[in-house]
Amino acid sequence: MDHLPRPSSRNYCGDAALRVPRAILLLNVHDDYPPTTFEDYPVVRGFAAETLAKGSFQPEQAQTAASTFQNWLFFGLMEATFRNRVHPNDFIEYDPEGGRTYLHTRALQGHLVEWEGRVSRSTPTERAEWAEQTSVIFKSASNLLEDFTSNIHRFYPKDFAVQVELLASLLEVLEYSRHAFFPDAPPRNKDNINGDCSLNFKNEFLRKGWCAYTIKHVLLSNPAPSILDYARLFKSHPTFITKVHKDCQPDYCAVSNVDTATYTPKHVSPECECEYLRPKMVEIESAINAGCIPVIALTNTNEMVTVSAQWQNNDATPYVAISHVWAEGLGSCSEKGLPACQVQKLNKAAREAQQKVYGVGDNTIAFWIDALCIPESPDLRRQAIGLMEKTYANASVVLVLDESIGQLLPGDPLHEKMFTIYVSSWVQRLWTLQEMMVARELVFQISNAMLDYQELFTEDIVNLSGRDPLTTELFGWLATLLMNSSSLNRPRIVDLDMIIWHLSRRTSSRESDEILAIAGLFGLDASDYVPLDAEERMFKFLKEHAETRVPTDLIFLPGDKLSRPGHRWAPRKFIASEKSGTPKSKFHDERAAVMDVGLFGRWQCLVLKEKLVTNSLPSPVPFVASNTEEEIVIELDRTSTMERPEYMDLIVLREDDGESDRVPGLAGLVREEEEIGEDGETVLVVDLGSPLVLSRRKKLGNSMALSAHLATFKQRFLLLR
Ligand SMILES: [Zn+2]
Ligand SMILES: [Zn+2]
C-alpha cells in the first residue's frame, strides 16, 4: 500500500493495479457517528461485534455488514489506537473518472509520529493502561481477520475479501508501532497476520509469471501482509524473474532443478565455442589428500589454470569462494572443467569482489568454485564435501552469482535489493544455505557492479528494524543467516529450529544431499555421511548434531517419517517441507534422547482404555477422559502416507496446557512396558502411527456420549520407534 516504499520505476506496477479493487471504500459510515470504543464501534452502526465476527447477519445485510467491517477495522481501529479523532479525508481519495472513493495510507506515517509523541508525553500509568488496551484491541482485530479468512468470508460479498487485505496490512503496521512505542508491554500475541485474506495470492502471482515454488515456499511461507503487499507493488514479470516458470509445481521448480545426468555447462554467450579449461588433477588430488582446499588462479600470460593449496591457517593465500546455482550453467567437476570464457569471467568477478571488500591492490586473487575444485572421483569427492564448510568459512569473500540478483542496479532502492535477494533462486537452493551462513564477507554480483551485504544494513534500515514490518521481515531474515559475518560480530550459534525453517524454503536436484549440506554447520564432518543412504544420514545427523538430544516436539513436524524400525519418529527431510520449522509447543525446550532402538523422552499422552482398530474407526472419534471428565474428539489424518499400526491404544500429544482447542498428536500402539527406575517408574515402548488432531468439546451430543470411548491423560516416559 501507499505507506510502503516504492520499487524502482522499471519494476513498479503503477497505481492502477494497486488501487483496483483492493482499496475501494465501500461506504463511509465513519463520519456520522461520535468517537466510541473499539467494541462499540459496530454496535452504534447497527451490528453487534459478534454478528460481524460470525457472519450471522441476514444475507440482504451483507453489503452494509461489509461496509461496517471495513470502517471498523480501518478508521475505528486507528481511532481507538491513537485515542484521537481520525478524519477520513486524511485517508480517502475520490477518483472522478471511475466515480469511486479509494482508501490510501499515505498519511499513516504522520499519524504514527503523532501517536508516538502523545505516548511519550503520557504518564507511566496512562502509558501502561494504553499499552494494555491496544493489546486487547489488536487481539480482537486479529482474531476477526483470522476468522474472516478461514471461515466467515463466505457470508460477506464475494469481492470483499480482497479489501480486507488492506485492513490486515494496517493492523500489522499498528502492531509493530505499538511494540516500538510501548517497549515494556508484552510482545505481540501472534507471530503473523496472514496477508492473503482473499486466498487468491497464488493465482494472482502465477499470472504475473512467478514460480509456483517461490509462491508457496517463500512468499506464502511467511505471509506477512507487508511482504505480500510489497510483492504486489511489482509489475507482472518484474526484471528479477528471468526465466519461464510455467511448468513449475508448488513443491518443484522445473527451472532450478537440473538433471545431473544430461547437464552441460554453458558458455558466456550461446555462440561461443571456446575450449574447456581444467585444473591439473594431480594438484587437486594432492591438496585434498593433505586436507587442504584447492583453489584456482589464472596467470596473466596464458589461460592455463594453476592450482594452489589453501592451508587452514591465518596467513594462508586469500581466495574468493563462489556461491551459485547450477541452473545458470556453472556446474561441473574438476575432471570436466568449465569453458575458458567462464573461467575468465569468474576470475574477473572474484578480483572485483575482493577489491570491493578490501580495496584496491590485489590484482590477482585465487578463487574456489565447485565446478573446478570438486572432483567426480568418489573418494576425492567425499573428502571435498567434508571440507565444504571450511571452504566457505575460510574464504576472504563469498561471491554470489545469481541471474535475478544480477539484474539489480547500484541505485535501486534498498528494499528492492533485499526483496530481490529474498525471492531469488539462490536462496531457494539447499547448498547455498551453509555457503551464506558461514561467510565472513558476502558480496553479490549485480549489474556492472558488486554489492557488499554491509551496504544493505544502513543506519536508516537498522533504525526501522523492529518498527516497520517490511524492513523487519526482510532484513531480519538476512541477519539470521549471517551468523559468521565479520561486521555483525556475533558468536556462532546454530539452532536446529532455525535451520529447519530455512530448509523448508529450499530444495535440491539431489534431495539426499540435505544432511551433507548442513552437517558442517553443526561442526560435524560431512564426509562421514557421504557413504550412507538418505535415511541413514538423517538418523545419524539427528543423533550426532547435539549429543543425541532433539526437541521432544520434533516428532510432530509434518511430513513423511523414516521407515526403519526404531527411526519412525524421525522426519524424512527438512527441505521443501510443508510447514516452516519445528512447531513450537510449551514443551519445546524439553529434550528427548536419540537411541538406535528409538526416541526416549517424556510426553503428555492420552492413554486409551481399550485397543481400537485404526482402519475401521470413523473420524471423528469421541472420547471421554476419565481423569479430567473432559469430552474429546479425535480426528484422524486420512491423508497421511504413514503406514499405521493396525491398532492404537495411546495418543502422544504435542502439548496439553488445557487451553488449546486443537492439539496435534500421533497415534501409537504400546508393545511393551519396562521398569526404568527403582520407584516403579516404567517406560512404554510404542510403535508410532499416523498424525491426528485432538479437539476438546464443551459438550457432546447424547448419541455421541453413548458411543464415546474411555481414556486418561497422563505424562509418560515413552520409547518411540
Ligand atoms: Zn520455477
Ligand atoms: Zn566460451
Q: In angstroms, what is the span from residue 255 Cα to ligand 1's centroid?
A: 5
Bridge partners, 92 (sequence order): 103
Instruction: Categorize the per-residue pLDDT at 637 as very low, low, confident or very high, splitting at 50, 70 and 90.
Output: confident
What does pLDDT average to over the chain?
A: 89
Q: If you measure from the C-alpha of residue 326 to the centroid of ligand 1, how many angstroms do you get, rounded to a whole number?
A: 14
Q: Where are any strands of DSSP class E within 374-494?
A: 397-401, 442-446, 449-452
Ligand 1 geometric centre to CA of 559 (Å)? 22
Say what the pLDDT of residue 630 is: 78
Mean pLDDT calculated for residue range 380-388: 95
Q: What is the DSSP string of 259-316?
A: -TTT--PPPSSTT--PPEE---HHHHHHHHHTT-EEEEEE-SSS--EEEEEE-SSTTS
**pLDDT at residue 517, rounded to an integer:** 97
Higher pLDDT, residue 632 or 369 = 369
What is this structure's pTM?
Answer: 0.92
pLDDT of 484 strictly over 60 = yes
> To which H or E segment does residue 165 belong?
helix 161-181
pLDDT tens-digit profile of 560-604? 899 999 999 999 999 988 764 445 566 667 899 999 999 999 999
Centroid of ligand 2 to alpha carbon of 346 (angstroms): 12
Cα of 212 vs centre of ligand 1, distance in Å, is 6
Å from CA of 328 to ligand 2 middle: 14
Which ligand sits nearest to residue 273's alpha carbon? 2
Nearest ligand to the CA atom of 255:
1
Q: Residues 711, 600: contact at Cβ < 8 Å? A: no
pLDDT digits (tens, 9 = 90+) for 56-71: 999 999 999 999 999 9
Is residue 337 a contact partner of residue 276, using CB atoms and an 8 Å limit?
yes
Query: In 3-state terms, what secondary structure has residue 135?
Result: helix
Q: How far is the CA of 320 from the centre of ligand 1 (A)?
A: 29
162 CA to centre of ligand 1 in angstroms:
26
Centre of ligand 1 to C-alpha 247, Å, is 7
What's the CA-to-centroid distance between 268 and ligand 2, angstroms? Answer: 6
Q: What is the Å distance from ligand 2's center to 78 Cα? A: 60
Residue 446 CA to ligand 2 center (angstroms) comes to 21
For 176-186, the pLDDT digits (tens) are 999 999 988 87
User: Using CA atoms, how far apart are residues 620 and 539, in angstroms rounded to an integer?
Assistant: 33
CA separation for the pair 371, 374 (Å, rounded):
6
Ligand nearest to the CA of 267: 2
In the reported structure, the alpha carbon of residue 372 is separated from the centroid of ligand 1 by a whole-number distance in angstroms of: 27
Each residue's pLDDT tens digit, 190-199:
556 889 999 9
Cβ atoms 86, 75 nearer than 8 A = yes
- Ranges 170-174, 227-231, 659-663: which has the least confidence: 659-663
For residue 702, pLDDT beyond 70? no
Q: Which listed ligand is nearest to 247 at the C-alpha?
A: 1
CA of 241 to the centre of ligand 1 (A): 10
Query: Do residues 635 and 619 touch, judged by C-beta distance below 8 A?
Result: yes
* Ligand 1 mean position, distance from CA 240 (Å): 13
How many C-beta neighbours within 10 Å does residue 175 have?
23
Note the ligand closest to the C-alpha atom of 327: 1
Least confident of 41-50, 187-196, 366-375, 542-551: 187-196
In the reported structure, the alpha carbon of residue 269 is separated from the centroid of ligand 1 by a whole-number distance in angstroms of: 23
Buried b (16+ CB within 10 A) or exposed e, 483-520: bbbeeeeeeeebebebbbbbbbbbbbbeeebbbbbbbb
* Cα separation, 554 vs 570, whole angstroms: 8
The pLDDT of residue 309 is: 57
> Which pLDDT score, from 0 to 100, does residue 581 have?
45
What is the Cα Rg of the chain in Å? Answer: 29
Rounded to the nearest angstrom, the distance between the alpha carbon of 345 and the centre of ligand 2 is: 10
